[in-house]
């Protein structure tokens, strides 16, 4: 059965993030008042990486269940994660965990165990700062992603299929990225095809949409393009999405509009999860 390969240190899978850093990302983010899209993307990628690290963190360190890369596309198309470069575009998650740009001191309210709330300080890792400049070379990013994943699958041919997560405002300027997305999704390990998810951050304040099955639910033509580029959730991930409380109907796609994709990280099965939301 596809999408059933065990994710382990000897058989890791890959998460490749494509991050739109183009000029248009300087515009306002409809999903959160007072925020730019570039800030929305930076926040999303930092939270995705944080969740991924936490998933793999044990008392004795971080286990390399995942190899991770981030390809930024704006003024240039290039690997952007500390510890990666054009020759080594992926890093084991343990390297990512230990190399944030900085740790921010933040505060949050938590249950005090007696029916009230108490303020708690915590350290939030920042790997990405908001950036906006240049064109939206999404097609170039997808082409580079295909090269990166071709090499990864050659090294780990039996891996759980790699995931590509594209965070963008959806206005490609180099070429129509649909064909490049189709080519990327055609890559496969023995366990199934590469999955492509898209997180669309729009200036429109339209309500968030998660894992839709019909593009007519989407008002924006760029959202529709990203919807078409997104993989249909395989049955196993559809079940995981339902377990996380998403309402899934029909052939749902790995697409969210003005919403975060952190749930996708929780879909990845490396063992028993703790249901408490984060």
List residues binding other proteins (CB under 8 A). 6, 8-10, 53-55, 57-59, 62, 97-98, 100, 103, 113, 120, 122-125, 240, 243, 269-276, 278
The tokens describing 74, both together, are 């704006």
C-alpha neighbours within 13 Å on the C-beta side of residue 75:
4
Burial class of residue 82 in the structure, from the number of CB atoms within 10 Å of its CB (0-12 exposed, 13-18 middle, 19+ buried) = middle
Tell the smallest beta-carbon distance from residue 28 to other proteins (Å). Answer: 31
Tell the smallest beta-carbon distance from residue 241 to other proteins (Å). Answer: 13
Q: Is the Cβ of residue 61 or residue 157 nearer to other proteins in the bound state?
A: 61
Q: Is the Cβ of residue 104 or residue 214 nearer to other proteins in the bound state?
A: 104
Phi-psi region of 106 (alpha: psi -120 to 50; beta: other; left: phi over 0): beta
Tell me how far the alpha carbon of residue 85 is from its chain's centroid.
Answer: 19
Q: Is the Cβ of residue 49 or residue 210 nearer to other proteins in the bound state?
A: 49
Q: Is the Cβ of residue 23 or residue 236 nearer to other proteins in the bound state?
A: 236
Tell the smallest beta-carbon distance from residue 62 to other proteins (Å). Answer: 7
Q: Is the Cβ of residue 47 or residue 224 nearer to other proteins in the bound state?
A: 47
The tokens describing 176, both together, are 């129509």
The radius of gyration of the chain's CA atoms, rounded to the nearest angstrom, is: 18
125 close to 103: Cβ distance less than 8 angstroms: yes
Tell the smallest beta-carbon distance from residue 233 to other proteins (Å). Answer: 16
Rounded to whole angstroms, how far apart are CA atoms 252 and 194? 16
Tell the smallest beta-carbon distance from residue 5 to other proteins (Å). Answer: 11
Residues in the chain: 278
């Amino acid at each position: 059965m596809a999408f059933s390969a065990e994710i382990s240190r000897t058989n890791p899978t890959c998460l490749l993030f494509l991050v739109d850093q183009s000029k248009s990302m300087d515009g306002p983010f409809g999903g959160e008042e007072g925020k730019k899209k570039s800030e929305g993307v930076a926040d999303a990628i930092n939270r995705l990486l944080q969740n991924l690290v936490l998933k793999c963190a044990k008392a004795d360190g971080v286990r390399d269940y995942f190899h991770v890369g981030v390809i930024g596309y704006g003024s240039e198309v290039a690997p952007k994660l500390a510890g990666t470069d054009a020759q080594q575009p992926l890093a084991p998650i343990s390297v990512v965990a230990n190399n944030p740009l900085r740790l921010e001191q933040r505060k949050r309210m938590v249950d005090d165990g007696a029916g009230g709330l108490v303020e708690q300080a915590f350290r939030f890792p920042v790997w990405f700062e908001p950036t906006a400049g240049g064109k939206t070379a999404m097609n170039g990013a997808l082409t580079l992603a295909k090269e990166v994943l071709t090499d990864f699958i050659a090294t780990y041919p039996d891996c759980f299929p790699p995931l590509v997560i594209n965070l963008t405002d959806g206005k490609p300027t180099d070429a129509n990225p649909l064909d490049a997305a189709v080519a990327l999704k055609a890559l496969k390990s023995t366990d199934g095809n590469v999955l492509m998810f898209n997180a669309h951050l729009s200036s429109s304040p339209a309500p968030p949409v998660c894992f839709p099955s019909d593009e007519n639910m989407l008002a924006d033509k760029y959202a529709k393009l990203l919807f078409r580029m997104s993989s249909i959730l395989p049955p196993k991930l559809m079940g995981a999405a339902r377990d996380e409380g998403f309402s899934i109907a029909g052939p749902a796609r790995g697409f969210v509009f003005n919403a975060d994709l952190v749930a996708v990280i929780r879909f990845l099965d490396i063992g028993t999860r703790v249901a408490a939301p984060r």
